[in-house]
Amino acid sequence: MPILEVKNLSMHFGELAALEDINLAVEKGEILGLIGPNGAGKTTFFNCITGFLNATRGDIFYKEQNITRFGPHRVCKLGICRTFQIVQSFNEMTALENVMMGAFCRHHLTGDAREKAEEILKFTGLQDKKNQLAGGLTLADQKRIELARTIATEPDVVLLDEVMAGLNPTETEEAIGLIQKVHEKGLTIIVVEHVMEVIMKISHRIAVFDSGELIVDGPPEEVVQDERVIKAYLGEEYHAES
Ligand SMILES: Nc1ncnc2c1ncn2[C@@H]1O[C@H](COP(=O)(O)OP(=O)(O)OP(=O)(O)O)[C@@H](O)[C@H]1O
Ligand SMILES: [Mg+2]
* 55 and 114 belong to one structural domain: no
Ligand 1 contact via 170 beta carbon (within 6 Å): no
Task: State the chain's mean pLDDT as an integer.
Answer: 94
Torsion of CA 142, 147, 149, 155, to 10 degrees: 170
* pLDDT, tens digit (0-9, with 9 covering 90-100), for 44-60: 999 999 999 999 999 99
pLDDT at position 239: 61
Strand order of the β-sheet with 4-13 is 16-26, 4-13, 57-62, 65-66
**Residue length of the chain:** 242
The DSSP output letter for 84 is: -
Mean pLDDT, range 212-231, rounded to an integer: 94
Residue 7, domain CATH:
3.40.50.300
Share above pLDDT 90 across residues of the chain, in percent, rounded to a whole number:
89
Burial class (CB in 10 A: 0-12, 13-18, 19+), 110: exposed
Ligand 1 contact via 35 beta carbon (within 6 Å): no
Pocket test for ligand 1, best of 44, 199, 214 (most atoms within 8 A of CB): 44
Mean pLDDT, range 167-177, rounded to an integer: 94
The DSSP output letter for 90 is: -
Three-state secondary structure string covering 93-139: CEHHHHHHHHHCCCCCCHHHHHHHHHHHHHHCCCHHHCCCEHHHCCH
* 242 and 162 belong to one structural domain: yes
On the question of pLDDT at 223 being above 70, the answer is: yes
Q: pLDDT band for 240, please (50, 70, 90 cuts).
A: low
* 236 and 193 belong to one structural domain: yes
CA dist., res. 72 & res. 82, Å (int): 10
* pLDDT, tens digit (0-9, with 9 covering 90-100), for 109-154: 999 999 999 999 999 999 999 999 999 999 999 999 999 999 999 9
Q: pLDDT band for 241, please (50, 70, 90 cuts).
A: low
Domain limit, last residue, from 154, 179, 204? 154
User: 240: number of CA atoms within 13 Å, CB side?
Assistant: 3
Q: pLDDT band for 197, please (50, 70, 90 cuts).
A: confident
Handedness of CA 21, 33, 187, 169 (dihedral sign): negative
pLDDT at position 24: 98
pLDDT at position 5: 98
* 74 and 168 belong to one structural domain: yes
Q: pLDDT band for 235, please (50, 70, 90 cuts).
A: confident
Ligand 1 contact via 41 beta carbon (within 6 Å): yes
* 184 and 211 belong to one structural domain: yes
Residue 148 is part of which domain span?
87-154
Share above pLDDT 70 across residues of the chain, in percent, rounded to a whole number:
98
| CA distances from residue 103 to 86, 143, 188, 209 in whole angstroms, order as listed | 21, 17, 19, 32
* 112 and 71 belong to one structural domain: no
* 167 and 69 belong to one structural domain: yes
* 47 and 101 belong to one structural domain: no
* 176 and 161 belong to one structural domain: yes
Domain limit, last residue, from 154, 183, 198? 154
DSSP string, 5-72: EEEEEEEEETTEEEEEEEEEEE-TT-EEEEE-STTSSHHHHHHHHTTSS--SEEEEEETTEE-TT--H
User: How many whole angstroms from 160 Cα to the centroid of ligand 2?
Assistant: 10
Closest among 39, 34, 61 to 218, alpha carbons compared: 34
On the question of pLDDT at 6 being above 60, the answer is: yes
Hey, whose CA ends up nearest to atom 12 of ligand 1?
18
* 111 and 227 belong to one structural domain: no
Hey, whose CA ends up nearest to atom 17 of ligand 1?
43
On the question of pLDDT at 35 being above 80, the answer is: yes
pLDDT at position 10: 98
Q: Give the Cα-Cα-Cα angle 50, 62, 85 (nearest 5 degrees).
A: 25
On the question of pLDDT at 242 being above 60, the answer is: no
